Amino acid sequence: MNRIDAAFLRLRGLKRKAFIPYLAAGVPGTAETVELVLELEKLGADIVELGYPFSDPMADGVVNQAAANRALESGVDSETYFAMVEKIRARSQVPLVAFSYLNPLFKLGFDAFVRRAKAAGMDGLLLVDMPVEESGDLQEICRREDFSLIFLVAPTTTPERLDKVLKAGTGFIYYISRTGITGEQDSFQKDFESKVSALKAASDLPVVVGFGISTPDHVRTVCGLTDGVVVGSALVRRTLEKKPFADILDDIRSLAAPLIAPTKETWN
């Protein structure tokens, strides 16, 4: 069984929700990325999204854009990225999702990327700008490799497109909590609860929520409606600070522990 599927099966049995952190691979460094993933797993992360750097991350806010640029400036390429994955996998079985855009994968070739990612120990792929209508070839590759292909659903997704996503997606459905780009926010859009509840009712796959989640109250709200939560910018911002890595780790622990806590409560 794919590690992502196994993680959600385990969480359902425990009546808990998934905590899914996003990290920019290679920030603040390659060895540090490995340690951050392992530390977040110790704190209670259930799945980790590992950002593959791209020079034009159009869905990302200033924090994640800065992290992608930092990674590229540091020389993070496909071999560096997969080497980090291999080092994580040598020490952990936490499910890993490659988070990226079409261009870098198109350059490498979809088949080559998925094969290499699977061999390194990854479990799934989320391409922010992959239209479900144009994903047929990639779906076939991922099915063949038992590699989850995760799609985004937005507040503006039409019923027709949602139906296609629900049929094509595997692993989980990622619901964007708002229109726009990533980044910490104070509150959800006014129709958030009704829209995410409707998606959860329609989906046979687990549904998780991301974009802007940054407080324990946000996490608790999401846990009451879905199967898990993604936290990205709030964590990535700490990895960009010019501090000794030990201090960055302390900051990550202080931030992540209260965010993870609600996911470990018992949920019906």
Token match 């911002």: residue? 237
SS3 of residue 26 by DSSP: coil
pLDDT, tens digit (0-9, with 9 covering 90-100), for 19-29: 999 999 999 99
Name the nearest CA neighbour of 116 among 148, 149, 85, 155: 85
Q: Please report the pLDDT score of residue 187 as a whole number.
A: 54
Which two three-digit tokens encode residue 119? 């061999």
Give the chain's domains with CATH numbers.
3-264 (3.20.20.70)
How far is Cα 170 from Cα 242, in angstroms, rounded to an integer?
38
Q: Please report the pLDDT score of residue 183 as a whole number.
A: 45
Catalytic site residues?
49, 60
How far is Cα 18 from Cα 8, in angstroms, rounded to an integer?
7
Query: By percentage, how much of the chain surpasses pLDDT 90?
Result: 84
pTM for the whole structure: 0.94
